[in-house]
Amino acid sequence: MSREIQHNQARSRFEWTEDGQLCVLDYVLKGDVMNITHTGVPSSVGGRGIAADLARTALETARANGWKVRPLCSYVEAWMRRQRGAYDDLKAG
């Protein structure tokens, strides 16, 4: 399944609605560093890969904009590690 995650820049988050449930990845942009602060997927729609799609879209958006990423959210930090270096170039020091 291909999800078209929406980037809501006004609210500094990425969004997807699944079965009427809003799923989000929140961030704070400081200069050229995207600090990812929270990923939220309601348990009623969990286990469908939504959080991974949110993370992937956020990281690809960061890459396209030349931003570095600081994964303050434990889910995104773990997800990035599981990608075997695919996003290591984005990590802020």
Distance CA 3, CA 17 (A): 10
Distance CA 78, CA 6 (A): 22
pLDDT score for 93? 80
Residue 60 belongs to a domain: yes
Residue 50 belongs to a domain: yes
Tens of pLDDT, residue by residue over 32-85, are: 999 999 999 999 999 999 999 999 999 999 999 999 999 999 999 999 999 999
Residue 1 belongs to a domain: no
Residue 65 belongs to a domain: yes
- Does the pTM surpass 0.85? The reply is yes
* Residue pointed to by tokens 């600090």: 35
Residue 74 belongs to a domain: yes
- What residues make up the domain containing 22? 6-86
Section 18-31 average pLDDT: 98
- Residue-wise over 69-85: b if at least 16 C-beta within 10 A, else e? bbbebebbeebbeeeee
The count of structural domains within the chain is 1
Residue 91 belongs to a domain: no
CATH number for the domain including 54?
A: 3.40.630.30
